Amino acid sequence: TVFGASIMNLFHNANKRHPNFDRPLIDFHTALMLEVTTLLGTVLGVDLNSTSPVWFITLLLILTLSFTTYRTLKKALELQKKESETDSVG
C-alpha cells in the first residue's frame, strides 16, 4: 500500500544527511507545515463532496481536467518547438 511504502521510506531516510549541505535529508519543518494544509484540504474536500450535488462535483472535475490538459499540452508544444529549433541548428 501507499501508506506502508511511505512509512518505510521515512524510516529509511530519516537519519540520512543532505549530500551537499550539513543538514538532514528530510526537512521536517517543511513537512509539518505542508501536512497541516493537506489535512485541511482533505477535511474541506470531504465536506464539499458530501454537501454538493453530483453535477457540481462533475463540473469541478471537468474543469480541473481541462485546465490540467491545457497546461500539459501548452508545455508539450513549447518543448517540441524548442527541440525542433535545437535539431535544426545542430
User: Tell me: the pLDDT tens digits for 4-50?
Assistant: 999 999 899 888 999 999 999 988 899 899 999 999 999 999 999 99
User: Which of 49, 44, 73 shows the shortest CA–CA distance to 61?
Assistant: 49
Give me the pLDDT at residue 62, please: 97
Which helix (H) or strand (E) covers residue 18, if one does? none
Give me the pLDDT at residue 90, please: 62
pLDDT tens-digit series, residues 37-87: 999 999 999 999 999 999 999 999 999 999 999 999 999 999 999 999 888
pTM > 0.85: no
